Amino acid sequence: MPKVRTQDLIEQFQLELISGAEGVHRPITTSDLSRPGIEMAGYFAYYPAERIQLLGKTELSFFERLHPAEKKIRMEKLCTDITPGIIVSRGLDVPQELIEASERHSVPVMRSTMKTTRLSSRLTNFLESKLAPTTAVHGVLVDVYGVGVLITGKSGVGKSETALELVKRGHRLVADDCVEIRQEDEGLLVGNAPELIEHLLEIRGLGIINMMTLFGAGAVRTHKRISLVVDLELWDPNKQYDRLGLEEEKVRIIDTEVTKLTIPVRPGRNLAVIIEVAAMNFRLKRMGMNAAEEFSARLTDAIEDGDHDYE
C-alpha cells in the first residue's frame, strides 16, 4: 500500500482540484519537489516526472511568453503516466493547455492560495514525515523529563508496570507494547503508538487500562523523539554489569544509533526511579557534565598523588 497519495495532499492542504480528477489516487514515492522552470524552456532530458510539480509565478509568467503551439507541447510533456500531480501556487490562473493535457493523461492539477516558497516548504515537511523509513519495536515509549525513553526487554520483565509508575510520578506515556518508529531525518527517530492501542496500557492481572481516562490528557502524548533506550533484563549473577558508566553502549534502529542502558531487574529495585535518574543523567551528559568521567579523573589524580608521596 502506498504511504501517500495525491488525495492526501488535497485534504491536508485544502487544495482546489482543477482537473485530472481520475488520477487523485496516484502514489507519491518521493518527498522531493520539482519546479519545472527549465522544462518550460523545452529541456526535458532530466525531467523528474515522479515528483510533485510546483508551478509558481516565475514558471507561469515565462509560459505565457511561449508560442501557442509550444504551450501545448510543453504541457503534454509535463503530464506523464507517473506524475502524481501538478500544483499551481498563489491562486494563479491555470493555463487552459495544462487543463486539457491533464485531463487526457489523468494527472491531477491543483491550486493553492499559498506563496510558492511557503507551500514548497510545507509540502516537503509533510512528505518527509509520511515517507520516512519506519519500523516497529516491542517495548514501551515514555517521555521522562523531556527525554524520549524507549523501554525494551523480554515479555513479562515489567516494562508496562514501570511505565505505569512513571506516569503516576508525572511523566507521559507515548506507546505501550508496540512502538511505531520512523526516521524523519538523519539521526532523528520519532516514536508513536499504533492508532488501535493509542493511550492504552496492558497490566497483567488488571488487563487493559486507558491512561488518558485514568490520569488525564497530561499523562499521554501522541509522539516523541527517541533519545535513550533502556533494556530491562532479569538479573544474571554471572554477568558483569557496568558500575561506572564510562562506556556508552549504542543500539541501531533503522539507520540511527541511540544510547542504550542495560538495567538488571530483581525484587527491590525501583525501576521507575532508576529510569528517571537515567533520563536526567542523559540530559546532563548532553550539557557536557559526565559524572563517571569526573570520578575517573579524580581517581587518576588520587593515584598520581599517591605515587608522588612514595617517591
Q: Catalytic residue at 199?
A: no
Residue 198, all three cell numbers = 493509542
| Predicted pLDDT at 295 | 74
pLDDT at 208 over 70: yes
Examine residue 106 and state whether it is found in any structural domain, yes or no.
Answer: yes
Q: Report percent pLDDT > 70 for the chain.
A: 95
* Domain final residue, candidates 82, 112, 130: 130
Catalytic residue among 65, 67, 239, 243: 243
pLDDT digit string (tens) for 163-175?
A: 999 999 999 999 9
- The span from the CA of 164 to the CA of 173, in Å, is 8
159 is annotated as contributing to ligand binding: yes
Q: Check the annotation: does 156 bind a ligand.
A: yes
How far is Cα 122 from Cα 224, in angstroms, rounded to an integer? 20
Q: Any catalytic annotation for residue 243?
A: yes
Residues 101 and 123 in one domain: yes
Q: Write down the pLDDT at residue 62.
A: 95
Q: Are 181 and 254 in contact (CB under 8 A)?
A: yes
What mean pLDDT comes out for the span 172-201? 93
Residue 213, pLDDT > 70, answer: yes
| Residue at 135 is within a domain | no
160 is in an annotated binding site: yes
Strand partners, 55: 88
Contact (Cβ atoms closer than 8 angstroms) between residue 119 and residue 12: no
Tell me which DSSP letter residue 245 carries.
-
Q: 150 and 125 in one domain? A: no
202 known ligand binder? yes
Please indicate, yes or no, if residue 112 is contained in any of the structural domains.
Answer: yes
**CATH number of the domain enclosing 199:** 3.40.50.300
Task: Please say whether the beta carbons of 131 and 179 come within 8 A.
Answer: no
Q: How many CB atoms lie within 10 A of CB 173?
A: 26
Write out pLDDT tens, residues 228-270.
Answer: 999 999 888 887 776 666 678 899 999 899 999 998 888 878 8
C-alpha–C-alpha distance, residues 151 and 149, integer Å: 6
pLDDT per residue over 62-119, tens digit each? 999 999 999 999 999 999 999 999 999 999 999 999 999 999 999 999 999 999 999 9
- Structural domain including 154 reads 140-295
Burial 51-60 (b: 16+ CB within 10 A, else e): bbbbbbeebb
- Asked if 193 contacts 175 with a C-beta cutoff of 8 angstroms, the reply is yes
Single out the catalytic residue among 72, 77, 177, 283.
177
Give mean pLDDT, residues 22-44.
Answer: 95
- Please tell me the predicted confidence (pLDDT) of residue 299: 74
Is the model more confident about 64 or about 290?
64
Q: Is residue 302 part of a domain?
A: no
Tell me if 28 sits within 8 A of 2, measured CB to CB. Answer: yes
Asked if 177 is an active-site residue, the reply is yes
Reduced to 3 states (helix: H, G, I; strand: E, B; else coil), residue 187 is coil
- Judged against a pLDDT cut of 70, whether residue 147 lies above it is answered with yes
User: Can you tell me whether residue 251 is helix, strand or coil?
Assistant: strand
Same-domain check for residues 124 and 146: no
CATH number of the domain to which 48 belongs: 3.40.1390.20
The pLDDT of residue 80 = 95
More confident residue, 267 or 310: 267
157 annotated as belonging to a binding site for a ligand: yes
Q: Do residues 243 and 291 touch, judged by C-beta distance below 8 A?
A: no
Same domain, 153 and 84: no
Per-residue exposure over 145-166, b if at least 16 CB sit within 10 Å of its own CB, e if not: eebbbbbbbeeebbbbbbbbbb
State the pLDDT at residue 308.
58
The answer to which of 9-18, 175-184, 264-273 has the lowest mean pLDDT is 264-273
- Strand 188-192 to strand 172-175: parallel, antiparallel, or no bridges (unpaired)? unpaired
- 308 labelled catalytic: no
305 domain-assigned: no
- High-pLDDT (> 90) share of the chain, %: 75
Question: b/e string for 181-219 if b means 16 or more Cβ within 10 A?
Answer: bbbbeeeebbbbbeeeebbbbeeeeeeebebeeebeeeb
- Same domain membership, residue 19 and residue 159: no
- CA distance from start to end of the chain: 75
